[in-house]
Amino acid sequence: MYGVESCVHPEYRGRGVGSLLMDARFDVLRRLNLRGLVAGSIPMDYHKVAASMTIEDYVCEVVEGKRFDTNLSKQLHKGFQAHNLIPEYIYDPRSLNWAVAIVWDNPAYEPGKVAEAPLFKVPRLYRAALKSVTRNPDGAAGS
Ligand SMILES: CC(C)(COP(=O)(O)OP(=O)(O)OC[C@H]1O[C@@H](n2cnc3c(N)ncnc32)[C@H](O)[C@@H]1OP(=O)(O)O)[C@@H](O)C(=O)NCCC(=O)NCCS
């Protein structure tokens, strides 16, 4: 799974909300028996030291726990692993457009196992509408 974006209002950061959002994502992976989650993490405090250190050194220090990054450190704390750097990931002066590809491996993943249930139940009304849809010979849906 690719994690596009998660964001907590600045006034509510550091209170466990982001952690719950990450846990919810991990739960989806477990339920769907997916191998892992890949995301682009913005090292958002890099701009503070960018004049004096390379992004490689910065990320190494964050990974080693010698330096705290408001975003990346929290994700590493939740079990993500830093995989590689991504230049020009997104326009963001805080990271000088860098991102770190981070990966979370689902420890419960079982190769070949089919997920037990769909993630969402389709509402009954919508199911009925789906049944009434017939297909044209060329494969295009029609009613
Ligand atoms: C990244 C973001 C979503 C985190 O949300 P948050 O609510 O501040 O995060 P939390 O307070 O739940 O902290 C997350 C985890 O990091 C841990 N943590 C907090 N401070 C830490 C520190 N100094 N060192 C290590 N871990 C720390 C927390 O303990 C928590 O883990 P736990 O639940 O196991 O205790 C939030 O900072 C944000 O919205 N950032 C801007 C948008 C963004 O860049 N999103 C990510 C794009 S990839």
Ligand 1 centre to CA of 19 (Å) is 6
Domain boundaries, the chain: 2-110+117-142
Q: Which of 115, 143, 137, 122 is nearest to 27 (CA)?
A: 115
Report phi then psi at 79, rounded to 5.
Answer: 110, 0
**What pLDDT digit, counting tens, does each position of 7-45 carry?**
999 999 999 999 999 999 999 999 899 999 999 999 999
For 99-127, the pLDDT digits (tens) are: 999 999 999 999 988 887 666 666 666 65
pLDDT at 60 over 80: yes
Instruction: Determine the residue of 19, 63, 91, 95 to mutate for testing ligand 1's pocket, defined as the one with the most ligand atoms within 8 A of the Cβ atom.
Output: 19
Beta carbon of 63 within 6 Å of any ligand 1 atom = no
The pTM (predicted TM-score) of the whole model is 0.82
Ligand 1: distance of its center to the CA of 71 in Å?
6
Establish whether residue 95 lines the binding site of ligand 1, counting it when its CB lies within 6 angstroms of any ligand atom.
no
Topology of 2-110+117-142 in CATH?
Answer: Aminopeptidase (3.40.630)
Task: State if residue 7 touches ligand 1 by the CB under 6 angstroms criterion.
Answer: yes
**Could you give the CA distance from residue 129 to residue 105 in angstroms, rounded to a whole number?**
38
- Beta carbon of 86 within 6 Å of any ligand 1 atom: no
